[in-house]
Amino acid sequence: MTCQSSESTEAIQNDRRTDNDSRVVESDECRIALAMKDLKNTGWYWGSLTANEAKEILHDASEGTFLVRNSSQRDYLFTISAMTSAGPTNLRIEYMDGKFKLDSVVLVKPKLKQFDSVVNLVEHYVQLSRSFSKGPTDSQPSAAPNGTVQLLLTKPVYTATPSLQHLCRITINKTTRQVRDLPLPNRLKDYLTDYAYNV
C-alpha cells in the first residue's frame, strides 16, 4: 500500500482541474469552430459587418429580412440584424455552457431555447416566424400593446447570390430530414448533409 502526502494529492487534484478546464475550452473551441463552419455555408453570414453597415443593408428591406454578423460587443460572438416594423434592430446571440441563445432581459432568459449552433437558432426562429405569418395577418398588430415590436425572421440577406446547388439543398432539407434514405448517389447525400438546415 502506498500513501501520498497531502501536497502530492493536492497537486494531482489541481492537475485534474486543469485537465477538465482544458477539455471545456477544447469543447467550446470545437463548438464555436463548427458554428463558424455552418455559418459560412449559409451565405447570409456577413462576418465583421458593423451595426451601421447592417442598418444600411436592411434600410429598404421588408419586415423579417435578416442577416447574421459578428458582434461588435466583446461579450458576444454574433448578432442578428433584422428589419422590424419599427426599423432595423440588432439581437445579440449569447454563447454559454456550449449553447447559443438570444440575449434578453434577465426575466426572460431562462425561458429562451438554447441551440447547439447559431444556424439551428436562426432556423428555429425562422420557422416560428413562418408559422406566425401564416395566421390571419389582418388581426395581428405589428406592435404589441406594451410597445414591444414583434420580431420576424423570414428572409435572409445573402452576401452574394447563392449557388443553385445550395438553394436546392435548402429546398430538399425543407422537405425531408431523412436525406440518407433518398434514392441519390452517396456523394450527393454527403453534400446535402454537409448543410442540413432549411434556411
Query: Could you read off the pLDDT tens digit of each residue along the chain, which spans 199 residues?
Result: 444 444 444 444 444 444 545 455 568 888 899 999 999 999 999 999 999 999 999 999 999 999 999 999 989 999 999 999 889 999 999 998 899 999 876 556 667 889 999 999 999 999 998 887 665 444 344 444 445 557 889 999 999 999 999 999 999 999 998 999 999 999 999 999 999 899 9
The pLDDT assigned to 28 comes to 84
> How much is the pLDDT for 93?
95
Report DSSP letters for the chain, one per residue. -----HHHHHHHHHHHHHHHHHHHHHHHHHHHHHHHHHHHHHS-B-SS--HHHHHHHHTTPPTTEEEEEE-SSTT-SEEEEEEETTEEEEEEEEEETTEEEE---TTTGGGS--BSSHHHHHHHHHHHHHHHHTS-GGG--SB-TTS-B-----EE--SSPPPHHHHHHHHHHHH-S-GGGSSS-HHHHHHHHHT----
Of 25, 113, 102, the closest CA to residue 66 belongs to: 102
Domains along the sequence of the chain with CATH: 37-159 (3.30.505.10), 161-199 (1.10.750.20)
106: amino acid identity, one letter:
V
Say what the pLDDT of residue 101 is. Answer: 92
Q: Which three cell numbers stand for residue 26?
A: 477544447
| Dist. CA 115–CA 98, nearest whole Å | 9
Is the separation of the CB atoms in 152 and 132 below 8 Å? yes
- Name residue, grid cell 389582418: 138
pTM of the complete model: 0.76
pLDDT of residue 59: 92
- According to DSSP, the residues that pair with 115 across neighbouring strands are 100
Please, are residues 128 and 113 in contact by the beta-carbon 8 Å criterion? no
Residue 148: the pLDDT is: 58
